[in-house]
Amino acid sequence: MKMSQRGMEKPLPELTDEEREIYRRQIMMSGFGEEGQRKLKEATVLITRVGGLGGPAAMELAMAGIGRMIVIHSGVVELSNLNRQNLMGYDQLGKSRAKAAEASLKKLNPGMELVIYTDEIHDGNSAERLKGVDVAIDSPPTLEERFSLNRGCMKAGVPMVEASMYGMEGQVTTFVPGRTGCLECLYPVRPEWHIPFPVLGAVSGIIGCIAAIEAVKVITGFGQPLKDILLHFDAEDNTMKRIPIRRRPGCPVCSDL
């Protein structure tokens, strides 16, 4: 059951026979079952930027059977995108990145409701776009977009999976409004950040896939999301560290939640 906006519980959607067959292998997972699949079908995920990080996340979530996806990505496909942006191909050079992603995602899951925006997230549009969203994935290249989505998610009460990477390293955590800290708690002072930054596509792909797993956990209640934990992956020596992080008292974004 899911709470509707009027506070009434409404039943989860039923699966069709075709959906039962498509998702048979994940329904088989102990503790996930058909109820987990129905929760995915009911859910809306917002992903801001579907490049090296958000692209693999969107791909995995589409294939996992998310019912509705909101994709935000500006610009056109360039040669320098092609080492990592798996929703965009050589034949789409010069075309809208968001439209290229739309075409790829539709091939993977034609039944998914897909909402595409060809601009970027900012404080002026985040509230509107986060309406009805169950979980957001924060994966843009700029800090401005990241902190803007963070403010929007905390205000709207939407859990946010924070995924980032640089070269051979990546990190993921999940912020739950009122339960954990937020991106502003993690970086009360803005980190130094320059674009373009180095990316090995396989590394951004791994981090994007972990972000997709986090979204599935938040939606279904299956497994333990990375609440108050920053997962850090170093591909140079293949180590993963779980770093405890805390809510920061007096945080201007989340301390009143």
Interface residues toward Zn ion, by CB under 5 A: 181-182, 184-185, 251, 253-254
Least distance from C-beta 243 to Zn ion, angstroms?
A: 17
Q: How far is the CB of 210 from Zn ion (least distance, A)?
A: 22
Tell me which DSSP letter residue 87 carries: T
Q: Considering the complex, what minimum distance in angstroms separates the CB of residue 246 from Zn ion?
A: 10
CB-nearer residue toward Zn ion: 163 or 216: 163
| Cβ proximity of 220 and 205 under 8 Å | no
Distance, CA of 206 to CA of 200 (rounded, Å): 10
Q: Please say which residue, 167 or 177, places its beta carbon nearer to Zn ion.
A: 177
Q: What is the closest distance, in whole angstroms, from the C-beta atom of residue 117 to Zn ion in the complex? A: 26
Q: Which is nearer to Zn ion, 133 or 153 (CB)?
A: 153
Nearer to Zn ion, 64 or 253 (CB): 253
In the complex, the smallest distance separating the C-beta of residue 251 from Zn ion, rounded to whole angstroms, is 3
Please say which residue, 55 or 152, places its beta carbon nearer to Zn ion.
152
Q: What is the DSSP letter of 190?
A: P
Could you tell me how many residues make up the chain? 257
CB atoms within 10 A of CB 28: 9
Is the CB of 27 or the CB of 182 nearer to Zn ion? 182
Q: How far is the CB of 250 from Zn ion (least distance, A)?
A: 9
Strand partners, 240: 233
* Between 185 and 203, CB nearer to Zn ion: 185
What six digits make up the tokens of 184?
């502003």
Task: Find out whether 244 and 231 touch, Cβ atoms under 8 Å.
Answer: no
Q: Which of 100, 142, 99, 103 is nearest to 121 (CA)?
A: 142
CB atoms under 10 Å from CB of 83, counted, come to 13
Give the closest residue to 146 by CA, choosing from 115, 180, 129, 121.
121
CA pair distance 233, 28, nearest whole angstrom: 28
**φ and ψ at 148, to 5 degrees?**
-70, -45
In the complex, minimum distance from the CB of residue 182 to Zn ion, in angstroms, rounded to a whole number: 3
